[in-house]
Amino acid sequence: MLSRIFKNVASLAVASIMDKMAYVVLFAIIARKLTRSEFGTYNLVLTLIFIGGMIVNFGMEGVIIREVAKSREKASVFFANSVFLALLFSLVSWPLMFGLAYVLKLGPDVIFLMGFGGGVFVFMGFAQMASAVIKGHERMDIFAGASICLSLIGFGLSMLVLWVWGDVSWLVGAFFVTEGLRAVVLICIVHRRFAVLRWQLDRQVITQIFRLSVPFALLMAYGVLSHRTDLLMMGWLKPLDEVAVYGMAAKFADFLSLITGSLTGALYPLLSKKVMSAREELWGLYNESIAVFAIVGFGAALAVVVLAQPLISFLFGDKYLLGVTALRWLAWGFLFSTLSGPIGILLLASGDQMNRLLMLGILLLGCNIFLNIWLIPLYSYNGAALSSFLTIVLGFIGRLILSRKYFGRLPNLVRVGWRALSASLLMGFVLSFLTKSSIIVSVIIGGITYFGGLALFGEFREARYEPIKLKILQFLSRSSA
């Protein structure tokens, strides 16, 4: 079971690493090439596109993954009808995001770009539904291969546009073309290998998908808005050059999620199938998942907190060093967001606490908006980062309470996470002496120190790693033969 998780995680991790690396490198180059005001405009446009993409998705991706994982013979029916719904939602999302840019007075450039760039929502919806079918079949390797190729194409196209024209409008156009290509490729893969796309619409199936998607849509709205509200509030309350500084920190924080996104994507379909099994078996998987997530969260958060200044200087340039404190707050937020991951996945897969989870999401979103309106005028981008951190911590506490209602007990976070915490503190201590060294050298030494600390504290002697050790030994024996 755990070996299957790691196989899927490995596939998604490779795709995420390639995608996020291309994403961060591209953003770093764009940040250096454009003025801070232009970079702020680009950040706001992408923020509106991602919020619109959430509306197009409407939680259907989670439903399709879950239903296909349970019954793969129904994949074709769910695929065709979800694509139709995605098309309808895209036609709603486009004018809605255009209107939001106008109401918040995000500037004439943002409003203009949303006028034609919003057409990307159609492609995003098709791609999301196709990827859901692939993930529901637990073929993360196929999804990963396609994603890597598309990420490299998108990176190359954006670089070409930046080199030749160097204009925000052309960059948005490159994003439009990339998403269109992504939709075509993923739909063709699904059509040929998993579920033939037949336009036989079924009103009952459409109603079923819509009804099942509502809770997911509300939770997704919270997830997307809680990560994007701060940028929108910055665009509303502060000038574009300050939006750019926070956008830099927020984009790097997004990069940190590359491994956790892989873990989440691999764990969700498995939990969807295991949720009907014995509660003790699910409890064991839940605790093991928290331990693995803790390794990612503590290591990444402590490294970024210590190396925030050289990281920003290396990637984005000294003109963005104003965002050091904001990035550190977002790194601490990433830690608690990572620890919340298995809890949220479990509650989504089970459905038992769905209403409470929805209420928690609504309360947290309201809290996030209030904190942003209060703190951004006082502390600008640092206030936005602090708002994000406080909201994530409250969400972590709330999800723990809901998980206790499901299992009747709380996970022993000290027992499952003390090795990761200890190793990260050791790494942080070593890195504190390397802040003036090359950032590449610091990252390498930090990584060696962290994983060496985990080994020293006995993390890799835990039973959950036995399937992985067996796979490695089998691979080595085949290679030597």
Tens of pLDDT along the chain (481 residues) come to 445 555 655 666 666 677 777 777 888 888 888 888 888 888 888 888 888 888 888 888 878 887 787 777 777 888 888 888 888 888 888 888 888 888 888 888 888 888 777 778 888 888 888 888 888 877 777 887 888 888 888 889 999 998 888 888 888 888 889 989 999 998 888 888 887 777 777 888 888 888 888 877 776 776 677 677 888 889 888 988 899 999 889 888 877 776 666 566 555 555 555 555 556 666 776 777 788 888 889 999 999 999 999 999 988 888 899 999 999 999 999 999 888 877 766 666 555 666 777 788 888 888 999 999 999 999 999 999 999 999 999 989 988 888 887 777 788 888 888 999 999 999 999 999 988 888 889 999 999 999 999 999 988 888 766 655 565 555 445 545 5
Burial class of residue 58, CB neighbours in 10 A (0-12, 13-18, 19+): buried
**Nearest in space to 95 (alpha carbons), one of 38, 40, 56:** 56
For residue 16, what pLDDT is reported? Answer: 67
For residue 474, what pLDDT is reported? Answer: 59
Tell me, yes or no, if the pTM score tops 0.85: no
For residue 393, what pLDDT is reported? Answer: 94
For residue 335, what pLDDT is reported? Answer: 92
Location of structure tokens 């979800």: 82
Burial class of residue 117, CB neighbours in 10 A (0-12, 13-18, 19+): buried
